[in-house]
Amino acid sequence: MLLILAAGTASRGQEPERERLAELESIRAQIARLQARLETVRSKRAGLAGELDQLNIRLQLQQQRISEAVTARQLLQDRWEATQKKVRELAAAEQEAREALRSSLVGLYRLGQGGYLRLGLSISSGTDLLQGIRQLRYFARRDSTAFQRYLDTRARLSVERDELAAQRTRLDDWLSAEKRRRSEMESLRTRQRGLLARTEREQADLVDQTRALREKARKLAELLDALYGRNTTDLGGRPIQDFRGALDWPARGSVAAGFGPQKDPRYNTLIPHNGIDITTSTGEAVRAVYPGKVVFAANFQGYGPTVVIMHADRVFTLYAGLSSLEVRRGAVVSLDQQLGRAGDLLYFEIRVRNHPEDPRRWLR
């Protein structure tokens, strides 16, 4: 009956440990999933937004690592307390075994030298000899059992005390890990706050830049509207449309930004762009793509030195971002005539009846 009760008590005692072990396994599975997700984000995204995404996942990962440390510490705490209780019980059992052994040894001492031999010889022939021998065997077994019980209890106590010390060390390790992970968590949160503030500043700067670029594009459009409305007389001659796709580039270089609204990759903000940006070498010659009349040649706000040429059928070409001008307003220019020198970026635009078109469809 006692064995059944003990088994039931042990089973009930193991239930909380099973639950904690299951919780620990679940936490470690979540850590593995978050680590895999972090690697995926690292490989796919860059820049401030990607860094912020990585940081958010790292915060979740660190939270799970803290949960792992807390659960493991609680599990070890339960085991340590159970082992400590077992050590107390064994210590009491050892004391009991010690007392029993001491009583036996005191009895043997009183018998004097020879111990059990003297006890056996003291049995008189007139008494029941068999009964005396049985009593002698009983005392011998009793004392031997008491001694063995003492040795066994003492050995078990030594083992449990060693286990208790090892569990205490592991518990201290998990306590240190928990403390370290909480400190790392706070560092990550501090970094997150800094990144969020930086993101807000960049967003505000981007809004200002977008507003400035839109204003710049608006003013340029107003200039071209005014020039289109002011120059109503057609120049005559063969229309530039006849040479669509065959025009030479205004300067040597490569396209840095194409025609149409440009999307900021970080915040998906659209910025108007009615021409193309051409990366050039500073001082590169900028030439007219078709004969026409210079209707504007001066600095223009946000663009620097700018030239606008009207061609036959009232088609306009615009060259902005020059470092210097070599033509004046009202001049008639020929094909490939040099208009000035480029800076490091040339903005080129074509308008047909004041409607912007993609210059690359006109250039060869």
Residue type, 220: L
What values do phi and psi take at 266, rounded to 5? -85, -40
pTM, to two decimals: 0.50
Question: Within 10 A of 166 (CB to CB), how many other CB atoms are there?
Answer: 12
Structure tokens at 343: 């800076």
- The set of residues, in sequence order, having a beta carbon less than 8 Å from that of 245 and lying 6+ positions away, is 361, 362, 363, 364
Phi-psi region of 3 (alpha: psi -120 to 50; beta: other; left: phi over 0): alpha
Q: Which two structure tokens, joined as six digits, stand for 334?
A: 């020929």
Class of the CATH-defined domain 2-202: mainly alpha
- 234-361: which CATH topology? Glucose Permease (Domain IIA) (2.70.70)
Evaluate whether 342 touches 321 at the Cβ level (below 8 Å).
yes
Q: Quote the pLDDT of residue 359.
A: 96
Helix/strand/coil for 357: strand
CA distance 207 to 269: 9
Expressed in angstroms, the distance from the first to the final Cα of the chain is: 100
Which of these ranges, 2-16, 131-145, 245-259, has the smallest mean pLDDT? 2-16
Read off the pLDDT of residues 120-167 as tens digits, 9 standing for 90 and up.
Answer: 444 444 445 455 455 555 555 666 666 777 788 788 888 888 888 888
Listed in sequence order, the residues at least 6 apart from 272 whose beta carbon sits closer than 8 Å to its beta carbon are 213, 214, 217, 261
Do residues 289 and 247 touch, judged by C-beta distance below 8 A?
yes
Task: Give the integer Cα–Cα distance in Å for 294 and 243.
Answer: 20
Provide φ and ψ at 127, rounded to 5°.
Answer: -95, 175
Q: Which residue has the tokens 């063995």?
A: 148
Angle at 230 between CA 224 and CA 232, to 5 degrees: 105
Percentage of the chain beyond pLDDT 70 is 77
What's the alpha-carbon Rg for the chain, to the nearest Å?
47
Burial class (CB in 10 A: 0-12, 13-18, 19+), 292: buried
Q: What is the pLDDT of residues 34-91, one digit of tens each?
A: 777 667 655 555 566 677 777 788 888 888 888 888 888 888 888 888 888 888 888 8
| 304 in Cβ contact with 220 (< 8 Å) | no
Q: Where are the domains of the chain?
A: 2-202, 234-361
